[in-house]
Amino acid sequence: MEQQTEKKKIVFSAIQPSGTITLGNYLGAVKNWVAMQDEFNCIYALADLHTITVRQEPAQFRKNIIDAYASILACGIDAEKSLFFMQSHVTTHAQLAWLLNCYTQFGELSRMTQFKDKSAKHADNVNAGLFTYPALMAADILLYQADMVPVGADQKQHLELTRNIAERFNGLYGNVFKVPEPYIPKNGARVMSLQDPTKKMSKSDENVNACVTLMDSPETIMKKFKRAVTDSEAKVRYAEGKDGINNLMTIYSAVTGLTFEQIEKDFDGKGYGDFKTAVGEAVVEELRPVRERYDKYIADKSYMQECYRKADEIAQKFSQRTLDKAMKKIGFVK
């Protein structure tokens, strides 16, 4: 008798090409995406539509998109195993986002902390897209009937809103969308800025010393860690008020697999200089193969094009079914 194989759960996640992919994006998200590829049916998007909520210079934006695509492949996303497509090439995202905008309340969007943060940061361009961004994110996820969405703490509120929108829509029209569950990866490190460790490490940080990117040379990585802000206690231990050291310990632990207790023991009696060197070297070794693979991909644009064209086509077909169903339920004429 044929053995029944359990259907793999669908995982959806996305990353914006809003700058060079950082160590934070890698340790907090992409490394886990790579680890999930065998167990789940993984769908990943390069969320370029989201990126224009902040003004982009066209030539730089184009370069960032290609660089980010190559970087994610270089991190280990396998185009044969997972779907990794370009959001703007799949027309259903913008279409469903519009529909969902009409099922999302102004008050709900006003409560999003990311909107408050980003509108304060870009006070000269508080555009409607920045405000309705969560409806586009909901569309991204719901189009693929995703079972699970890996989320960092900063995205929890958006996923909660996605669930509310899906439940509201399903409540009106029947079962159209799968209501996704958050998936908290076991090793989901939250990496902070090396210059202001109370703030998360971000691609778009203007201070180049604040973040390590996947494209930094070993020398640059070492220099950035040596300059990382710490405290005056000179003792490697994880404790409240030691944000800089806590951050370095988080990075070191995520890369080496060592626990905080082991790290404290290994660096007992040693100064911050030794610790920073060790963290820098561990990160250099972690990123070395990524950078080598990136060089290979970026030199072969036609291979990348082949990858995303194939993925775009599958994503379009898959997501069209959900969009069609939602439109029919609302009452649009085919």
Active site residues: 118, 200, 203
- Which of 255, 278, 254, 280 minimizes the C-alpha distance to 266? 278
By CB under 6 A, tell whether 22 contacts ligand AQP.
yes
By CB under 6 A, tell whether 71 contacts ligand AQP.
no
CB of 264 to ligand AQP, least distance (A): 22
CB of 234 to ligand AQP, least distance (A): 26
Choice from 10, 11, 12, 18 touching ligand AQP (CB under 6 A): 18
Residue type present at position 333 = V
Q: CA 315, 317, 319 angle in degrees (round to 5)?
A: 65
By CB under 6 A, tell whether 253 contacts ligand AQP.
no
Backbone angles phi, psi at 268, to 5 degrees: -60, 125
Q: Which is closer to ligand AQP, CB of 113 or CB of 175?
A: 113
Q: Is 90 helix (H, G, I), strand (E, B) or coil?
A: coil
Helices (H) and strands (E) in the chain, counts: 14, 5
Choice from 11, 29, 245, 284 touching ligand AQP (CB under 6 A): 29
CB of 170 to ligand AQP, least distance (A): 25
Task: Name residues whose C-beta falls within 8 Å of residue 305's C-beta, 6 or more positions apart in sequence.
Answer: none
Which region, judged by CB under 6 A, interacts with ligand AQP, from 194-202, 225-233, 248-256, 257-265? 194-202
Residues 148-177 that bind ligand AQP (CB under 6 A): 152, 154-155
By CB under 6 A, tell whether 244 contacts ligand AQP.
no
Task: Name residues whose C-beta falls within 8 Å of residue 104's C-beta, 6 or more positions apart in sequence.
Answer: 132, 134, 135, 138, 161, 165
d(C-alpha 101, C-alpha 106), whole Å: 9
CA-CA-CA-CA dihedral for 121, 188, 255, 239, to nearest 10: 80
Choice from 20, 28, 49, 141 touching ligand AQP (CB under 6 A): 28
By CB under 6 A, tell whether 25 contacts ligand AQP.
yes
- The answer to whether residues 192 and 201 touch, using CB atoms and an 8 Å cutoff, is yes
By CB under 6 A, tell whether 132 contacts ligand AQP.
no
By CB under 6 A, tell whether 200 contacts ligand AQP.
yes
CB of 203 to ligand AQP, least distance (A): 4
List of residues contacting ligand AQP (CB under 6 A): 15-16, 18-19, 22, 24-25, 28-29, 47, 152, 154-155, 190-191, 200-204
